Chain A
């Protein structure tokens, strides 16, 4: 009984630090989504572009970003770019690297979603005189969006866990807070607490994705 009490008190004691870490994690998570999803859509359009140069450049971008570890990209942005005169603070550096990285993954998801829409939808819109731009935004993209929700959900859940990687440039996100407490107090309990926090976060995100998918269930 005493032990349980001790663990409970210890958890309470750690809470302020955990919450601070959580704040950084959530901030990085939310801002990365806000930047990387539009970037992903743009890159997907680039990949599907008629212009060969645009297509080649976006393809190269995706190959490079998906072909190298995110951890390396974070290090590169924070320690490498200053060498050519581009300096970031820790958090913006992390956000920049994450947005570029996730943008590439989202691009492939959106590209697959857009190309999965039947050619007949374009033709149906075309014979009605609907412009290419309106066809894309009102006919094609909304349908693609529904199809990409499950893989996007996957990425979202992966992202919340990937945020732990920013410990490498010294940001005090959740995992780092846990590790510090773990070393300081010679206890594994902080890591267990952190694990539970991640679990709760991913559970909430999965639930949110399910709700959004349900919202799109009104048609097939």
Chain B
């Protein structure tokens, strides 16, 4: 589904990604763990084209976002990025739009879906996320967990093939970790691949199909926790 080969990225003289290789299979939930400063977030941002890398390849399905250090054309980038959803650590909801408007904004503006249809789809998504009653609320009226679900819903509305989560448990009450894990697992039913960045090991074990760890700009131990997981 997602193939990353030999990805390099530096900020000035500070190399952050030093030859990252990573593969995510269709429908897989891959969790990247590791200490902060290890390059996890930069990797996630690079996949979402929020950071530009100097060399390497990023390929989604059969489409190269980045091939041997060269980015796809503007149009192709747009098409490829449409298949990738991202849930930010602090959600980045649009505070001046209601929950339903947050979700319909992209489908109506980007995909050109009629407002009625987009609203109906958004209501279905909200139902799936257990937020039916919150359609007309504004982000500031929601709890952290609810905001996160809206952020997930907003990304879901574009039907991405790959969903990325940046530290999904960091802004939440620890008691909600199980809920988030279950929610992410339930998205798997929709056939999406998922890439999760976290340093919460407990959460990683709960949610992952596979865990890799990342430190000093490299995926250091591809199957670090696999045995433990299959053994349990």
Q: Determine whether A142 belongs to the interface, using a CB cutoff of 8 Å to chain B.
A: yes
Complex interface: chain A residues within 8 A of B88 (CB): 120, 123-124
A139-180 contacts to B, CB under 8 A, are: 139, 142-143, 146
Q: Is the CB of A130 within 8 A of B81?
A: no
CA distance A134 to B112 in the complex (A): 13
Residue ID in chain A nearest B110 by CB atoms: A129
Q: Determine whether A115 belongs to the interface, using a CB cutoff of 8 Å to chain B.
A: no
B77-135 contacts to A, CB under 8 A, are: 78, 81-82, 84-86, 88, 90-96, 105-106, 109-110
Taken residue by residue from 4 to 45, chain A's Cβ proximity to chain B (1 for < 8 Å, 0 otherwise) reads as 000000000000000000000000000000000000000000
Q: Determine whether B139 belongs to the interface, using a CB cutoff of 8 Å to chain A.
A: yes
A127, A130, A131, A219: the one within 8 Å of B140 (CB): A219
CA distance A220 to B50 in the complex (A): 27
Q: Determine whether A1 belongs to the interface, using a CB cutoff of 8 Å to chain B.
A: no
Taken residue by residue from 131 to 171, chain B's Cβ proximity to chain A (1 for < 8 Å, 0 otherwise) reads as 00000001110000000000000110010000000000000
Taken residue by residue from 54 to 93, chain B's Cβ proximity to chain A (1 for < 8 Å, 0 otherwise) reads as 0000000000000000000000001001101110101111
CA distance A146 to B96 in the complex (A): 10
> Nearest Cβ in chain A — how far from B120, in angstroms?
19
CA distance A129 to B138 in the complex (A): 22
Q: Is the CB of A121 within 8 A of B78?
A: no
Can you list 26 residue pairs at the A/B interface with Cβ under 8 Å?
A: A124-B88, A124-B91, A124-B92, A124-B94, A127-B84, A127-B85, A127-B155, A128-B105, A128-B154, A128-B155, A129-B81, A129-B82, A129-B110, A129-B158, A130-B105, A130-B106, A130-B109, A130-B110, A138-B109, A143-B94, A143-B96, A146-B96, A218-B138, A219-B95, A219-B138, A220-B95
Interface residues of B (CB under 8 A from A): 48, 50, 78, 81-82, 84-86, 88, 90-96, 105-106, 109-110, 138-140, 154-155, 158
Interface residues of A (CB under 8 A from B): 118, 120-121, 123-131, 134, 138-139, 142-143, 146, 218-220
